[in-house]
Amino acid sequence: MTIRQRLGAAGAILAPGAFFQGFGGALRRAADSLMAWQERARERRLLATLSDRLLDDMGISPADVLRETDKPFWRD
């Protein structure tokens, strides 16, 4: 009996390249997270530069801006 037969259809033996496909998915998720963090940080920097009049037009208080811009970039 081979190892593949012992492990069955749901066994732990990976097809050639399967490891790298999973690794590529992890890299893709990491890159997506980095890009989202970068965009979030950019948006918060821009929010901090808006005038009180623009904030009032959008219905955002200065306290809301302060609360949002004080968050770390990784927090949604």
The CA distance from 64 to 74, in Å, is 18
pLDDT tens digits, the chain, 76 residues: what are they?
Answer: 565 555 555 555 556 666 566 777 888 899 999 999 999 999 999 999 999 999 999 999 999 999 999 999 989 8
13: left (phi over 0), alpha (psi -120 to 50) or beta: beta
Domain boundaries, the chain: 25-76
7: left (phi over 0), alpha (psi -120 to 50) or beta: alpha
- Looking at residue 24, what is its pLDDT? 78
Q: Residue 35: enclosing H or E segment and its boundaries?
A: helix 18-49
Its pTM stands at: 0.65
CB 7 within 8 A of CB 1: no
